[in-house]
Structure 1
Amino acid sequence: MQSCEVLIPKIALSKSLALNDITTIELNDLAQGEYAFLCQMQMYRGVIVVE
C-alpha cells in the first residue's frame, strides 16, 4: 500500500497517510495559534489555525 507522510513540526507529529483511505489525526488540547503542516517532500503545505 502506498502512503505519504504528513508532518506538523511545531508539535513533533508525523503521521503516515494511506493512499485512497481516511486517516484520523487527533489534535487534542492545542494552544491557540498557528500550526504549519506539510508533506514529507515539502511540496504541499498548509496551516491549522486554533482560535
Structure 2
Amino acid sequence: MKFYDRKQELAILQLNTRQSEKTACFTMMVGRRRIGKTALLLGIR
C-alpha cells in the first residue's frame, strides 16, 4: 500500500521510534477503520 501525503506522520513515528531506544515512549494510533493505521505503523520499520 502506498501512502500519499503522510510524510509528516511517518517522520513523527520515526522520531518516536528513535526516542524509544533511549527512554520509554508511548505512541497511540487512533483513527477510523480501514484507513491504513496498521500499514502505516508497519511501514516505519
Greater helix fraction, Structure 1 or Structure 2: 2
- TM bucket (normalised to shorter chain) is 0.3 to 0.5
TM-score normalised by L of structure 2: 0.36
TM-score normalised by L of structure 1: 0.34
Greater strand fraction, Structure 1 or Structure 2: 1
